[in-house]
Amino acid sequence: MTTSPGTDPHPPTAELATTGADRLAADLAAGRTTSVHLTRALLDRIAAVDDAGPELRAVLAVSADALAQAAELDAERASGRTRGPLHGIPVLVKDNIEAVGLPGTAGSLALAGRPVRRDAPLVASMRAAGLVVLGSTNLSEWANMRSPHSTSGWSGVGGLTGNPWALDRSAGGSSSGSGAAVAAGLAPFAVGTETDGSITCPSSLNGVVGLKPTVGLVSTEGVVPLAASQDAPGPIARSVRDAALLLDAMTGSTRYAAAPGSRSPGGLRLGVADGWKSGHEGTDALFAEVLGRLEAAGSTLLPVTVEPAGAAGQQELVVLLCELKDGLDRYLAGRPGDGVRSLADVVAFDEEHADLELAHFGHEFLVAAAESGGLADPEYASARAACLAWAVEQMLEPAFAGDPGPDVLVAPAYAPAWKSDLAAGDHFLGGGVASTAPSLAGWPVLALPMGLVRGLPVGLVLVGRPHSEALLLAAGHAVEQVIGVAGALVPSWTPPGRG
């Protein structure tokens, strides 16, 4: 299949690529469309992209009852009942989140064919809010905790997710499919999960908005675990307003949708974390331009001192391995159905099916986690304490200090997407350092697009204090208005190229 840059290869539903959930909600409320029509159009678009098109592989599975869900919600609306502002709008969920009718494999063939028998609470909350659970998205297998040589966006179940801006570029990880699907117009929004960068990275690389909430704000029950102290499900959308609407649906709240529009750029106090620059010339130049525009719009820029992770990175690895051992052993032992019951079983499964699971890279992290002592490991407690001390006491609290201090911290997210390479693994072009301290601390991070560098999206991140999601969304919306690209970035679908 050949396409020219700037051309959507699927014109019958091309308008879905830039239509936000808020506008879809207005169309549904006014009777200009129905949930069935919208759901069918998105299912057609998914099929076109993956069956007749470029094989984006962002969507791992679709719900067999998606149209039935939509029909039920249309009937409710016709009878005068709606469940909330997102009544009848489809959503995709990352395939490490349990949703009845979807695989819930975390991308691993070890969990394929083991049906999900319950909805994770966050999925149940979205259904209660009237969303159509359209399908599940591909991901970096086991949330990218497999190998130091892994390729983001690849899983044994779903293959390699492409980036709709350039099909040979990475969609990021580990919420690869969620970011790519929203950018490609396969759903107005999706749910991802983050342990360290797994929402912010694919959001930045695909040109969409992503929020990693405070750890604990969104339930992780029914989510295949990586590290309990850092795991956080969150929304990926085309605008901050849409992300706020989905966060309300995920949590059963009504407070977050009111935040966007409650603050203007004038009066915002932004802590500029120079130590978290991406190191990529074009990305950092665009970030500097955005800062200039924010200052011209009345925002106050406050320089703050921060550092990359450094030695904390090795301590974080100890925490991740030990918590993966403990969490995955408990999860697999309690998941209904036949198959793997422990992390050791997963390692054995991979080795028995090495032609499929180990075809491109190993599973060194899984082996190391299985051999660890879990939470009882002698290194775990000190490593976790060191991570918290560095992230909170040495980095975040000092950065927010002052009277008054910053409302939020701001930094570039990631450099443009690198070329995917199943033989050599990921080769980041820069960035990602801004997510480490808030990930270790469990603090919230919001990523939003700031434009294109050499034809590829790049984003910035805003970091907030714990449980400051409303302020973060308000500030993010104000920044988004100054940048002016939200919802306007349409993927180019550039075919693979040499070089």
**Cβ atoms 485, 238 nearer than 8 A:** no
Query: Can you tell me the distance from the alpha carbon of 475 to that of 263, in angstroms, rounded to the nearest whole number?
Result: 6
Query: Can you tell me the distance from the alpha carbon of 440 to that of 389, in angstroms, rounded to the nearest whole number?
Result: 10
The percent helix, strand, coil of the chain (3-state, each to 5) is 40, 15, 45
Tokens standing for residue 299: 């925002």
Greatest CA separation found in the chain? 61
Catalytic residue among 198, 204, 372, 420: 198
Tokens standing for residue 466: 């714990």
* Chain centroid offset of residue 289 CA: 26
**Cβ atoms 439, 195 nearer than 8 A:** yes
The helix (run of H) or strand (run of E) holding residue 211 is: strand 209-212
**Cβ atoms 366, 142 nearer than 8 A:** yes
Query: Can you tell me the distance from the alpha carbon of 428 to that of 39, in angstroms, rounded to the nearest whole number?
Result: 36
Query: Can you tell me the distance from the alpha carbon of 201 to that of 445, in angstroms, rounded to the nearest whole number?
Result: 11
Q: Which amino acid does the sequence have at 396?
A: L
Buried b / exposed e along 21-41 (16+ C-beta atoms within 10 A): bbebbebbeeeeebbbebbeb
DSSP category for residue 396: I
* Rg of the chain on CA atoms, in Å: 21
Query: Can you tell me the distance from the alpha carbon of 28 to that of 453, in angstroms, rounded to the nearest whole number?
Result: 36
* Chain centroid offset of residue 434 CA: 15
Catalytic residue among 94, 212, 277, 325: 94
For 62, the 3-state DSSP assignment is: strand
Catalytic residue among 147, 174, 239, 420: 174
Does residue 155 have an active-site annotation?
A: no
For 459, the 3-state DSSP assignment is: strand
The helix (run of H) or strand (run of E) holding residue 191 is: strand 189-194
Positive/negative CA dihedral, 242, 196, 492, 280: positive
Does residue 419 have an active-site annotation?
A: no
Kindly list the catalytic residues: 94, 174, 198
